Amino acid sequence: MIETTKAIVINTIKYGDTSLIATCYTNSCGLKTYMLKGVLKAKKAKVKTAYFQPLMQLNLTANHNNRGALNSIRDVEIINFYGTIYSDIKKQSIALFLSEVLYYSIKEEEKNEALFEYLETSFLWLDMHSNISNFHLLFLLNLTKYLGFYPKLNSVNLLYFDMLEGRFISSSSSNTVSGEKLDQFKRLLGINFDAIHEVNFNASNRQNVLSILIQYFELHLEGFRKPKSLNVLKSVFN
């Protein structure tokens, strides 16, 4: 079926010498994977490799096949051009890291307009702002709302956070966070990106919270892997 939809690039891998396989999150039908035949050698083709950088926002006209099958793209254009994400080293590192997180987190081939809007508006915010050192932390935390395991905020004043249950508890058990690390984690709860400048983490704080979030994703998402770009991200923000 031929469909036109907005899409966000999540991942690309090389296929053979001349082709790419691109995974995108679409507004109309969730996660879709496309075969881009000959795109690496065709200089005048409508579909260009430059369109498929991490988190690029596109408008696709595509032939969508049955669930799980590779799809093909008939036409593509860039929408919501980024002005800084691919030229700023910190934003580049965030984009690469978050594209890996999304690749391991989103599996559903079904429409979820709320999730798509969150991705779309978040990446535009990243592009337009300069105070972005903690962006990836808040992005991951708020992403859990759409994936179904945002922390339960009742009893938030208790001394331990049970990552497996996603709730605050009064005594320590396995997979709990407490003390200073928990205090840092709590500073992100309930805020949006426009309030992120109020969270003054140093490099150590940032690494502590990132480690908590990565473990939280690992506990709740089957098949989730630590992104290969994690060390690069840590290095850039140290």
- Give the pLDDT of residue 173: 85
Euclidean distance between CA atoms 136 and 98, whole angstroms: 7
- Domain contains 176: yes
- Residue 50 CA, chain-centre distance (Å), reads 20
Residues 208 and 157 placed together within one structural domain of the fold: yes
Q: Among 78, 97, 120, give the residue marking a domain's end.
A: 78
Q: Which domain holds residue 151?
A: 89-236
- Domain contains 158: yes
Residues 108 and 67 placed together within one structural domain of the fold: no
Task: Give the pTM.
Answer: 0.94
Burial class (CB in 10 A: 0-12, 13-18, 19+), 174: exposed
- Domain contains 84: no
- Domain contains 83: no
Q: Among 53, 78, 103, give the residue marking a domain's end.
A: 78
Q: Among 45, 78, 111, give the residue marking a domain's end.
A: 78
From the list 122, 144, 146, 147, the residue with the least C-alpha distance to 135 is 122
Euclidean distance between CA atoms 77 and 6, whole angstroms: 10
- Give the pLDDT of residue 84: 97
* CA 167-172-177 angle, 5° bins: 60
- Give the pLDDT of residue 67: 72
- Give the pLDDT of residue 178: 96
Residues 103 and 74 placed together within one structural domain of the fold: no
Name the helix (H) or strand (E) containing 76: strand 72-78
* CA 68-124-146 angle, 5° bins: 50
- Give the pLDDT of residue 237: 84
**25: CATH:** 2.40.50.140
Q: H helices of 13-172, where?
A: 89-105, 113-128, 135-147
Residues 143 and 25 placed together within one structural domain of the fold: no
Residues 114 and 219 placed together within one structural domain of the fold: yes
Residues 180 and 210 placed together within one structural domain of the fold: yes
What is the residue-level pLDDT of the chain in tens, covering all 238 positions? 899 999 999 999 999 988 999 999 999 999 999 999 888 887 766 788 889 999 999 999 999 987 767 999 999 999 989 999 999 999 999 999 999 999 999 998 899 999 999 999 999 999 999 999 999 999 999 999 999 999 999 999 999 999 999 999 999 988 999 999 999 999 999 999 999 989 999 999 999 999 999 999 999 999 999 999 999 998 888 7
- Domain contains 152: yes
Residues 163 and 204 placed together within one structural domain of the fold: yes
- Domain contains 211: yes
Residues 61 and 151 placed together within one structural domain of the fold: no
**95: CATH:** 1.20.1440.120
Residues 93 and 211 placed together within one structural domain of the fold: yes
Euclidean distance between CA atoms 86 and 58, whole angstroms: 15
Residues 55 and 135 placed together within one structural domain of the fold: no
For the chain, the domain total comes to 2
Residues 57 and 18 placed together within one structural domain of the fold: yes
Residues 73 and 95 placed together within one structural domain of the fold: no
- Give the pLDDT of residue 109: 87
